[in-house]
Structure 1
Amino acid sequence: MTVHEDIRSTRGERGRRPDDAGTGIVTAFGRQLKLLRTRAGLPRPEFGSRMGYSASTIASFEQGRRIPLPKFIDRADEVLDAGGILKALKKEVERAQYPPFFRDAARLEADAVALCVYANQLVPGLLQTAEYAEAVFRRQRPLLTWDVIVQRLDARMARQLLHDRQPPPLMSFVIEEPVLRRPIGGREVLRGQWERILWFGRQPHVEIQVMPLDSDDHAALGGPFNLIDTRHGQRIAYTEVQDDSRLYTGPTKIHELECRYGILRSQALTPRESLAFVESLLGET
């Protein structure tokens, strides 16, 4: 795979069906799923029962209104004796679950050996609870349809399977203090998010640092960014704002962001101090 400098700058189309936002792969998968289910003589309720899903969810998959997770595709291929037909579509379907502007970054992230993330608006997706993520999607404007919210939520939670990979990638997060104080979804949702951050911060592959509001110096006023280390020894930078995204591989830009992230980490609270800070937030509620 070759990633070119400034590989992509795309604008997401909020609220549209997944196939409208990308290709028709989701619709094609749904039709194939229905054909195979019908051939197997399984009504939707019976097939859904075997798969652990409701009949209405199976209908959503078949009609291309909702994108199934990879584990569903693997299981469906076996239950329907599809001979690998559904599995052959898995990678493309998985890619389609993300909004267009994030698809290339999601592919790189899933195969990363190390990640550095600076967040100044929201808790990073790799650390979010389902309740926090749902609240984020519900508050987007223009409004997202419920099907798209469910799709995005499934995809957000699926990204976190990265933590379970063996060995997991090394992850470093620098999060602005106001992000941790903004009650997205309400105080109870925020409290659950604090607890989740503490849990992740105690994992050996994760380091979380808080950038305090009272700091008089700040190396990253230009906005959020990620650094992604691939298993091929390549470092790639990702930036995103207002649904426009860019991936960079050029040494000049990479070096600039590497230096910026290093200085930012030195200005932030240490990982130990940061977890103590989050614990103090819990104590305030």
Structure 2
Amino acid sequence: MDEETDTPEDPRREFAEECRSARELHDPAPLTQAQLARLVRTSKSTISRLETCHGAIPPDLPPLLDEVFATDGKFKRLHEDAVTASFPSVYRRRMAMERVAVTIREWSPTLIPGLFQTADYARCLFKGGYPRASARETSAFVNDRMARKALFDGDMPPDVRVVLCESVLRRHFCPPEVMRQQLKALLTAGSRPTVRVQVLPMDAPAHLFIECPVSLITSPSHSVSICVENYRTAGILEDPDLVRAALRAYDELTGDALPTRESARLIAEQMEKLT
């Protein structure tokens, strides 16, 4: 991983220090690690690891800490910063843009996009790409991937538009039950009022994005950035001519893709074949 940082603070260490400080200064009386663990429904050893910067932060803990300490989302924000800081700089920038985006348009020719992956699907994906990864590395990857989903739970979640190649639904690199649960999760996500999922048939004509996944992220100022990925590399493009061409190509994709209801039926059919 790239170890450069964008700010002098280490977000993971700041999270640890804030957790320890909030526990020790808790009103009306300080909390022990064991007492805090009971309040957030975890183990004392987990709290100890949190406060000593050992391992990833379990994604379900920050909102519980905010609830216990009445910190108005502080631990949730620190967790997001810590997750972002664990990635190379270009990915950190992409994830920062996602967190404030008003619209995210996704195209994937091969995989369920990261924002919609289940933990088991993400684990199979990581182990396939990094077969020598340790259990700790795999767990950290999965936790970080799940943490990205927090943007759906904010007060103003972005509008998310997803177009998947039909082959994504038929590519079963994981056990059938894992894929079935992944497709079920995709259907559930598509039922959100801010999410639209479409499937591009495999006999659709060629298009600008046919070779790689692409994300078009619209900022609060309505500027659009193009995020492209290839073999373990990524880039962010903001040239106005490229952005216009990409938006036009995405519109063509959505026009060639199945409508959302037909897409949902196709996803459900593929899910049922896995039972």
For normalisation by structure 1, the TM-score amounts to 0.78
Corresponding position of 1:201: 190
Query: How much has 1:199 moved relative to structure 2?
Result: 1.9
The number of residues matched between the two structures is 265
SS of corresponding position for 2:222: coil
**Unaligned ranges ≥5, structure 1:** 1-11, 14-19
Query: How much has 1:277 moved relative to structure 2?
Result: 1.3
Deviates further, 267-276 or 72-81: 72-81
How big is each residue's C-alpha offset from its partner over 1:218-274, in whole Å with a ceiling of 9 and x where there is no partner? 342231111111122221211122332222222012112112212222222222221
The one of 231, 240, 262 equivalent to 1:251 is: 240
**2:82 corresponds to which letter in structure 1?**
A
1:116 paired to 2:105: yes
1:185 paired to 2:171: no
The one of 151, 154, 161 equivalent to 1:165 is: 154
SS of corresponding position for 2:129: coil
Corresponding position of 1:96: 82
The one of 90, 94, 97 equivalent to 1:105 is: 94
**1:115 corresponds to which letter in structure 2?**
I
Preserved contact between residue 113 and residue 168 of structure 1 (Cα < 8 Å): yes
Deviates further, 64-73 or 143-152: 64-73
The whole-number CA distance in structure 2 between the counterparts of 1:70 and 1:198 is 22
How big is each residue's C-alpha offset from its partner over 1:171-218, in whole Å with a ceiling of 9 and x where there is no partner? 111111222122243100101111122222233322211122233433
Corresponding position of 1:30: 16
Preserved contact between residue 59 and residue 146 of structure 2 (Cα < 8 Å): no
Pick 1 or 2: higher relative contact order, CA cutoff 8 A, min separation 6.
Answer: 1
Structure-to-structure mapping, 1:74-153, within 5 angstroms = 76=65, 87=74, 91=77, 93-98=79-84, 99-100=87-88, 101-141=90-130, 143-153=132-142
How big is each residue's C-alpha offset from its partner over 1:28-87, in whole Å with a ceiling of 9 and x where there is no partner? 543564566568765433332223221222232223233436874575478679x99x94
Deviates further, 224-233 or 91-100: 91-100
The whole-number CA distance in structure 2 between the counterparts of 1:155 and 1:116 is 21
Change in 2 beyond 3 A, CA 1:255/1:188: same
1:224 paired to 2:213: yes
How big is each residue's C-alpha offset from its partner over 1:108-164, in whole Å with a ceiling of 9 and x where there is no partner? 111111110001221012222222223223333164333333333233223223333
Deviates further, 183-192 or 155-164: 155-164
The whole-number CA distance in structure 2 between the counterparts of 1:167 and 1:91 is 15
Change in 2 beyond 3 A, CA 1:70/1:272: closer
The whole-number CA distance in structure 2 between the counterparts of 1:150 and 1:119 is 24
Deviates further, 254-263 or 138-147: 138-147
Change in 2 beyond 3 A, CA 1:146/1:43: farther
- Determine what percentage of the aligned residue pairs are the same residue: 27
Change in 2 beyond 3 A, CA 1:201/1:92: closer
The whole-number CA distance in structure 1 between the counterparts of 2:256 and 2:106 is 15
**Unaligned ranges ≥5, structure 2:** none
**1:233 corresponds to which letter in structure 2?**
H
Change in 2 beyond 3 A, CA 1:232/1:57: same
For normalisation by structure 2, the TM-score amounts to 0.80
- Give the superposed CA RMSD: 3.2
Deviates further, 104-113 or 63-72: 63-72
SS of corresponding position for 1:139: helix
Deviates further, 102-111 or 216-225: 216-225
Preserved contact between residue 67 and residue 93 of structure 1 (Cα < 8 Å): no
Change in 2 beyond 3 A, CA 1:251/1:25: same
1:238 paired to 2:224: no
**2:12 corresponds to which letter in structure 1?**
V
